[in-house]
Amino acid sequence: MEQPTIYLDNNATTAVHEDVLAAMNEAASLYGNASSMHAMGREAAVAIEESRQAVRDLIDAQDGAIVFTSGASEANNTVFNLFRERIDLGAKRKRIITTTIEHPSIIETVTHLKEIGYAVDLCPVDNTGRVVLSQMEALLGDDVALVSVMLGNNEIGTIQPVKEIAALAHRHGAYVHSDATQAIGKIEVSMKELDVDYLSLSAHKFYGPKGIGVLALRKGVPFSPFVHGGHQEDGRRAGTYNNTAIIGLGTAARIAQRELPDENKRLWALREMLRVGIEERIPNVVVNGNQEHCLPGTLDVSFPRAEGESILLYLDLEGIMVSTGSACASGSLEPSYVLLASGVDIELAHGSIRFSFGRYNTEDEVRYVLEKLPPIIKRLREMSIR
């Protein structure tokens, strides 16, 4: 029997949707520079504006600006850079607040900012990875310029109370940014409803191409470009438009908006089928994250006395692709900082596996995982010296 390929790593990236691919193939002939004034330039510009509108509709950005970037990492960096610049220019508010479980494009950015002398506070999370509002409130003050809190966590799926945090932060006069990269297409994301000032997203997390994302801005909020050098994006982000990628993003945005209600339910059902199946078949497992406020397609599980990396490799041999929480840093296997920040014991953090579902996964695939996973864990536990 031919080995199946079961891709359960959709939080890392997703396959490009067939309609997105078709739109991008068609867009290949649209090679005019969208800044050119001739017919081919104008044709590209029209398509780009259609994509901008699709993103605006998807995130309910109202009359704010949609700025195309190379992805969410750049969008996140743009926000922190602009507040750093304001601080450098003498703004009264000099402190930034974010959380301990943000994506590395934020954690490493603020670590660097701290190293060079900026005031940054990391709001802790509870043992489900959720920000506790009273702890956020305790950190707020009239010296805070920016509060940045992700909407859904890439590793454990925990959804943050961004709307409530935004209300608190605004009451203290701070601006609010949310990295919504993992939430798009899985839960409803409305800038208006969340009442955030800045929002980041990335096309490759919802069946669009890699290397294209968005920083959305509420109308009238402070802005300063991260990439200087051209008049594109009203001077907000320089660089010749990547027509094909932007058109792919716009197509993916339309599909995500259309399919969200069904996709949300379907992903949760697959996730729950796997969770229940694992708990029934494998003794002594711990499901990480918040089971109520969780992205529908994310399941993060710790298997005590089994190493995450070993589980990943054995699953890979069976054609099942997952991810560990841990990053392989300079030869040493570091446990996940997200799990540690959520109070997960270091041994459990070492034995965690993230299963992340997407639109192409099926119940049959979950059954296959439930057949292959238990003997792998059993074998690894038998091999473990303790």
Q: Which of 77, 160, 181, 243 binds ligand PMP (CB under 6 A)?
A: 181
Backbone angles phi, psi at 155, to 5 degrees: -100, -50
Q: Is 324 in the site for ligand PMP (CB under 6 A)?
A: no
- For residues 365 and 10, what is the distance between their CA atoms, to the nearest angstrom? 14
Tokens of 287: 């499901």
Q: Tell me if 6 sits within 8 A of 270, measured CB to CB.
A: no
Nearer to ligand PMP, 202 or 310 (CB): 202
**Does 162 help bind ligand PMP (rule: CB under 6 A)?**
no
Evaluate whether 163 touches 181 at the Cβ level (below 8 Å): no
Report the catalytic residues.
328
**Judged by CB under 6 A, does residue 202 bind ligand PMP?**
yes
Residues in the chain: 386
209/225 with CB nearer ligand PMP: 209
Shorter beta-carbon distance to ligand PMP: residue 154 or 310: 154
Q: Cβ closer to ligand PMP: 72 or 123?
A: 72
Residues in CB range of 335: below 8 A, 6 or more apart: 325, 326, 346, 349, 350
User: By C-beta, is 213 or 289 nearer to ligand PMP?
Assistant: 213
Residue 131 contacts residue 99 (beta carbons within 8 Å):
yes
Shortest Cβ 144–ligand PMP spacing (Å): 22
Site map (CB under 6 A) of ligand PMP, residues 132-161, x = contact? ------------------x---x-------
Site track 54-73 with ligand PMP (rule: CB under 6 A), x = hit: -----------------xxx
CA distance 175 to 215: 15
| C-beta of residue 34 within 8 angstroms of C-beta of residue 48 | yes
- Parallel, antiparallel, or unpaired for β 327-329 and 332-334? antiparallel
Residue 252 token pair: 């993916």
Which has the closest alpha carbon to 359: 269, 238, 240, 235? 269
Residue 1: CB minimum distance to ligand PMP, A: 34
By beta-carbon proximity to ligand PMP, the closer residue of 77 and 251 is 77
182 binds ligand PMP (CB under 6 A): yes
105 binds ligand PMP (CB under 6 A): yes
> Which one of 80-88, 121-129, 168-176, 178-186 is the stretch in contact with ligand PMP (CB under 6 A)?
178-186
Among 349, 340, 354, CA closest to 278: 354
Provide, rounded to whole angstroms, the least separation between the CB of residue 69 and ligand PMP. Answer: 8
Cβ 202 to ligand PMP, closest distance in Å? 3
Measured CA angle at 14 (ends 13, 16), to 5 deg: 130
- The span of 46-54, 138-146, 175-183, 314-322 binding ligand PMP (CB under 6 A) equals 175-183
Amino acid letter, 205: K
Binding site for ligand PMP (CB under 6 A): 71-73, 103, 105, 150, 154, 179, 181-182, 202, 213
